[in-house]
Structure 1
Amino acid sequence: MEANKRAMQVQRYTLGFGVMGSTVSGLQRVSIVALGAHLVMSGEFSAGMLVAFVAYADQFAQKAGALIDKIVEFRMLSLHAERIADVALAEPEQNVVSTNSGRKLNARIRLNNIGFRYSQSEPWIIRKVTLEVNDGESVAIIGPSGFGKSTLARLMVGLLEPTEGCVEIDGVDIRSFGLAGYRELLGVVMQDDSLFAGTIADNISFFDAAARIEPIVEAASMAGIHRDVSALPMGYESLVGDMGAALSGGQQQRLLLARAFYKKPKILILDEATSHLDTDTEHVINRHVGSLKATRIIFAHRKETIASADRVVDLTSFVRTESFDQDVGPSPQHDEGAQSLA
């Protein structure tokens, strides 16, 4: 977030100085030509003197402008240094290494009285959410935009740390289990995921040096992208461009799904992962997702995706705005508001 703010600040300064420089340069040239024309008409300058004067003035303006640009670039070095510092000096992620030495855990996820807000002065995004997803179960979590679905997905993945409560896998806090080991069990597609410069095969296997083509093709077929890839001249060796620029939005989304399927995860978390797809393709992918022997947690708006789940949980049964419940929040009720699909 801070790095993005610094980048926007640099762009604003660069644009502002560019406009100022162009304006001053234009006014200076108009003034010189007007003054020279006046001196020629009054007989104080000859035409040759005017040409020489304008040429010397242009050289002076160019050198002065270059000097000012270097001064501005030097002053902006501090902004670039702060952008780098946001990354280089960021605190290392905590609870990465496992401290759990017990039994092999099942893929059962429990949100235990979860609450999250970005700071003490900010309102609660979600609060007192208690929900359990059994091993191998498929659950769709629904709710209006802005009700914290993506935030809840990030909490489940371990990208955000809860302000209150904890996320458990088979009764063990994921921070005790170890985030690195926990994420090895996950296949995740978030709304803001992106592809990387490289081939289609590299992006599906996530640049796995030991990747084989058979699992890559299998994952692509499950995501409904194999036919599109096969039609390309270089197939799976085709480059996706900068952040997937060579592909359509739907193709990018299916490649991200293929990346998640490639891991053969025990827990699959999808946050609006089929929002750019047509109904037929979405139906095929939902059928493949339903056939996985994994715990599936799907955040969705579209009826077709919601209908593919074993159980539906409405997030509005947990979430309340600060104006209604600032101090206490909603009472934790396990699976309250959950709806079973007939």
Structure 2
Amino acid sequence: MKKSGTMKKMLTYYKPYMRVFWTDMFFATLSAAVALIIPLVVRYVTYNLVYREPAEILHQAAYIAIGLFALVAVDCYSKFYICNYGHVMGAKIEYDMRAEIFAHYQKLSFSFYDDQKVGQLMSRITTDLFDISELMHHGPENIILSVIKIAGALIILVNINPMLAVAAFAILPFMLIYAFVLNKKMRLAFKQNRVKIADINAQIEDNLSGIRVVKSFANEEIENRKFKQGNDGFLAAKKNSYFYMGSYQAGLGAFTTLIQVSVILTGTVLIAKGSVDVSDLVTFMLYISVFTDPVRTLIDFTEQFQNGYTGFERFQEILAVHPDIEDKKDAVELKDVKGDITFENVSFQYEENTEKVLNHISLNVPAGAYMALVGSSGAGKSTLCSLIPRFYDVTGGAVKIDGKDVRDLTLKSLRDHIGIVQQDVYLFVGTVFDNIRYGKPDATREEVIEAAKNANAHEFIMSLPNGYETDIGQRGIKLSGGQKQRLSIARVFLKNPPILIFDEATSALDNESEKVVQDSLEKLAKNRTTFVIAHRLSTIKNAEKIIVLSEDGIEESGTHEELMDRKGTYEKLYNMQFHK
């Protein structure tokens, strides 16, 4: 998106808050007007009252005092409104943007997250959005304050003395050229900062998530070196951006000082010639302050603009990512599911110009069948099952449920009818009760307890310190592997889907836990179409049909006994596990 398009898009976020926005601009204008009026009062006093009688001066002073206090009151409330309601407006815009990008994250498919780092995605929804909201609030008011003060000062100064005005503003074009050149370089430098800090966030997230692995291998020093490399890169990027920022601020600071020097020297010459009164020169010097303050504000605003604008560009980059898996316009809901699943000449590859993971797979799984998938690592077992809920879309052929192509169904209705139990169980921060009810957010407490009983989890839950209200920690760290797996099974029991996928659900468990979990899985699988991806072949001996996948497709299929009698790949895999 071009810069003009990006700015137009940014401005659309003001739309719900236009009343507050224009009120904020009104009070910014009032505050700028007060700053312009006060030097005029000084000029009036020094020019008109100095040579009058003391009584008359005191009489006039009373009115001047009333006027000045009124101006102070107006300026005070104006700044209160700008700081309070203006900031709230910025916070609401940040709220809207955060909700938008979070909702967009939920729409993106697995293929997007396969190539992303969590820390970088978090950076776009936290640091970037804060900087954007600061820009959205302070940007317009800083501009209006600065423009009014500079334009107002120019008009007033020209009316007081054109020669001094020329002296004051002659340097302005050079200042603007300097600012334009440095601005462009700063923008690129600050964008690089964003990339580097996102990399650091990703590295921190990766380290903290795997802190137990780090400590178990005593590799703290390695992690420190890895972090130092990223931190050094960020520091180098910061140094580069601060070099340009320092050049920018120092240059513009020098220009503003030169304006004062120019006015002082010109004023001295004009006083010597009798062309300027001392009162006019004093007024001019006061206005130079009024004029240079907004310039300094713009200097400070530049960094804010670079941070906010580059943050918004990164925000837009994510929103521009189109979900590669979404509902068709005429997608229909999946209803009255029997559970017949058909793979019709299915092929799949993760990216173009890469080898196919699945190649012309044709398979029919009747409703209620218990189907096991075995094969070497990389044969495509998990990938095949991931095509059913459309975590990925086939690159050839079709996957059908009850004769309907899954691509013609709404994603929500499709996934509502599929339950998945994985080897790597993910539990959310919260209580046991919250994690089970995730399978059916509107479930009653009785339904949650019944699901836990069906998953053989109720007994161990009741032995926890607070039962179902026990906090299980980050990713269920306070529970054993078997306990976590039973909670995930309870979650699926509560969901009560007609189609199940068990992705090596017991391979990481000890023998005792495996038996308990296996009993729960078999109870859950009863009368449901079930796919079991098996690592331990002992768990699938009773499967109605076993499919042996290889890189070339379906190599063998049949019951355990049939495949053992065939003395092919399955028999070799089985003997490797049990007759070493």
TM-score by length of structure 1 reads 0.70
The residue identity in structure 2 corresponding to 1:9 is D
The structure-2 alpha-carbon separation of the partners of 1:79 and 1:245, relative to structure 1 and needing over 3 Å to count, comes to farther
1:9 equivalent in alignment to 2:199: yes
Question: Which of residues 285, 288, 306 in structure 1 aligns to 2:540?
Answer: 306
User: What SS class does the counterpart of residue 301 from structure 1 fall into?
Assistant: coil
Question: Which of residues 551, 556, 561 in structure 2 aligns to 1:337?
Answer: 556
Question: Which of residues 241, 246, 251 in structure 1 aligns to 2:483?
Answer: 251
User: What SS class does the counterpart of residue 216 from structure 1 fall into?
Assistant: helix
Counterparts of 1:96 and 1:204, CA distance in 2: 31
Counterparts of 2:514 and 2:482, CA distance in 1: 10
| Cα drift, residue 266 of structure 1 | 0.3
Counterparts of 1:124 and 1:182, CA distance in 2: 25
Task: Report the equivalent of 1:214.
Answer: 446
Deviation per CA, 1:103-153: give whole Å up to 9, x if none: 844211111111111222111111111111111110111111121112112
Q: How does 1:186-205 map to 2 (within 5 A)?
A: 186-205=418-437
Task: Report the equivalent of 1:91.
Answer: 322
Task: Report the equivalent of 2:384.
Answer: 152
The structure-2 alpha-carbon separation of the partners of 1:255 and 1:5, relative to structure 1 and needing over 3 Å to count, comes to closer
Q: How does 1:273-312 map to 2 (within 5 A)?
A: 273-291=505-523, 292-312=526-546
Counterparts of 2:357 and 2:548, CA distance in 1: 15
User: What SS class does the counterpart of residue 505 from structure 2 fall into?
Assistant: coil
Counterparts of 1:337 and 1:228, CA distance in 2: 40
The residue identity in structure 2 corresponding to 1:161 is D
The residue identity in structure 2 corresponding to 1:111 is F
Given that residues 10 and 76 in structure 1 are in contact (C-alpha distance below 8 angstroms), is that contact kept between their aligned partners in structure 2?
A: no
| Cα drift, residue 221 of structure 1 | 2.7
User: What SS class does the counterpart of residue 355 from structure 2 fall into?
Assistant: coil
Counterparts of 1:17 and 1:199, CA distance in 2: 36
The residue identity in structure 2 corresponding to 1:314 is V
User: What SS class does the counterpart of residue 201 from structure 1 fall into?
Assistant: helix
Counterparts of 2:377 and 2:399, CA distance in 1: 23
Instruction: Single out whichever of 295-304 and 11-20 deviates more from structure 2.
Output: 11-20
| Cα drift, residue 101 of structure 1 | 7.6
| Cα drift, residue 97 of structure 1 | 7.3
The structure-2 alpha-carbon separation of the partners of 1:237 and 1:96, relative to structure 1 and needing over 3 Å to count, comes to farther
| Cα drift, residue 20 of structure 1 | 8.2
Deviation per CA, 1:222-248: give whole Å up to 9, x if none: 333322211111111111212222223
The structure-2 alpha-carbon separation of the partners of 1:283 and 1:86, relative to structure 1 and needing over 3 Å to count, comes to farther
Bigger Rg over Cα: 2
Counterparts of 1:102 and 1:210, CA distance in 2: 20
Flag structure 1 segments of 5+ consecutive residues without an equivalent.
23-70, 321-329
The residue identity in structure 2 corresponding to 1:268 is L
Counterparts of 2:424 and 2:309, CA distance in 1: 30
Given that residues 140 and 297 in structure 1 are in contact (C-alpha distance below 8 angstroms), is that contact kept between their aligned partners in structure 2?
A: yes
Deviation per CA, 1:255-310: give whole Å up to 9, x if none: 21221121111001110111222334433433343342211111011123212422
Question: Which of residues 403, 418, 432 in structure 2 aligns to 1:171?
Answer: 403
The structure-2 alpha-carbon separation of the partners of 1:78 and 1:194, relative to structure 1 and needing over 3 Å to count, comes to farther
State the percentage of identical aligned residues: 32
Counterparts of 1:21 and 1:159, CA distance in 2: 35
Deviation per CA, 1:42-89: give whole Å up to 9, x if none: xxxxxxxxxxxxxxxxxxxxxxxxxxxxx9xx889969974x556544
The residue identity in structure 1 corresponding to 2:345 is N
| Cα drift, residue 179 of structure 1 | 2.2
Given that residues 274 and 282 in structure 1 are in contact (C-alpha distance below 8 angstroms), is that contact kept between their aligned partners in structure 2?
A: yes
The structure-2 alpha-carbon separation of the partners of 1:192 and 1:214, relative to structure 1 and needing over 3 Å to count, comes to same
The residue identity in structure 2 corresponding to 1:237 is E
| Cα drift, residue 220 of structure 1 | 2.1
Task: Report the equivalent of 1:324.
Answer: none
Given that residues 110 and 131 in structure 1 are in contact (C-alpha distance below 8 angstroms), is that contact kept between their aligned partners in structure 2?
A: yes
Flag structure 2 segments of 5+ consecutive residues without an equivalent.
1-113, 121-197, 204-225, 236-302, 562-580
TM-score by length of structure 2 reads 0.43
The structure-2 alpha-carbon separation of the partners of 1:207 and 1:108, relative to structure 1 and needing over 3 Å to count, comes to closer
Counterparts of 1:77 and 1:228, CA distance in 2: 53
Counterparts of 2:389 and 2:378, CA distance in 1: 19
Given that residues 139 and 309 in structure 1 are in contact (C-alpha distance below 8 angstroms), is that contact kept between their aligned partners in structure 2?
A: yes
Greater strand fraction, Structure 1 or Structure 2 = 1
Instruction: Single out whichever of 6-15 and 130-139 deviates more from structure 2.
Output: 6-15
The structure-2 alpha-carbon separation of the partners of 1:15 and 1:79, relative to structure 1 and needing over 3 Å to count, comes to farther
1:106 equivalent in alignment to 2:338: yes
| Cα drift, residue 2 of structure 1 | 3.5
1:232 equivalent in alignment to 2:464: yes
The structure-2 alpha-carbon separation of the partners of 1:6 and 1:202, relative to structure 1 and needing over 3 Å to count, comes to closer
Aligned CA-pair RMSD: 3.2
Instruction: Single out whichever of 203-212 and 113-122 deviates more from structure 2.
Output: 203-212
Counterparts of 1:172 and 1:153, CA distance in 2: 17
User: What SS class does the counterpart of residue 157 from structure 1 fall into?
Assistant: coil
Task: Report the equivalent of 1:50.
Answer: none
Given that residues 222 and 285 in structure 1 are in contact (C-alpha distance below 8 angstroms), is that contact kept between their aligned partners in structure 2?
A: no
The residue identity in structure 1 corresponding to 2:322 is E
